[in-house]
Amino acid sequence: MSVMRPSKSLTQVFIYRDPIDFRKAHRGLTAMIELELSHDPFAGHLYAFTNRQRNKIKCLYWEDNGFVLYYKSLSEAKFKWPKKTDELVTVTGEQINWLLDGYDIMQMKPHKKLHYDSVY
């Protein structure tokens, strides 16, 4: 069951291709959106970021009166991320959910589902 997910009705989701320092919170990410991309972080678009290992993802979205920061960390797999040759990739809300589900949105191949009994 997916409780907290980006809306599938989003028409523009921007995937930031370069890995980022995951110590950045919403203020650092909004600065990147404004200064590096020259985008308005308050425009209602979702921005997706990953780390060097490609096993974590952060999504940032302005929702009416504050930022929503979505974070997902994979236990064993990696996210299929755009190549560095792509400048800024734009996908839909449905496609970012496919990416979060583990699909390579270019090949439509999912991650293996994992089930654990304990965190230790």
Give the pLDDT confidence of 34-76 residue by residue, as tens digits: 999 999 999 989 999 999 999 999 999 999 999 999 999 998 8
Q: What number is the average pLDDT over the span 78-106?
A: 80
Q: Which phi and psi angles does 43 have, rounded to 5°?
A: -80, -5
Pick from 46, 40, 32: nearest CA to 89 = 46
Q: Residue 119 domain-assigned? A: no
Q: Residue 25 domain-assigned? A: yes
Looking at residue 64, its amino acid is D
Q: Residue 6 domain-assigned? A: no
Q: Is 46 exposed, middle or buried (0-12, 13-18, 19+ CB in 10 A)?
A: buried
- Per-residue pLDDT band for 80 (boundaries 50, 70, 90) equals confident
List, edge to edge, every strand of the sheet that includes 13-16.
66-73, 56-63, 46-50, 13-16, 88-91
Note the pLDDT of residue 108: 52
Q: Residue 111 domain-assigned? A: no
Q: Residue 2 domain-assigned? A: no
- Tell me which residue range forms the domain holding 42: 13-100
Q: Which residue has the higher pLDDT, 110 or 35?
A: 35
Rounded-to-integer distance, Cα 117 and Cα 51, Å: 27
Q: Which residue has the higher pLDDT, 111 or 72?
A: 72
Q: Count of domains in the chain?
A: 1
Q: Which residue has the higher pLDDT, 4 or 84?
A: 4
Q: Residue 108 domain-assigned? A: no
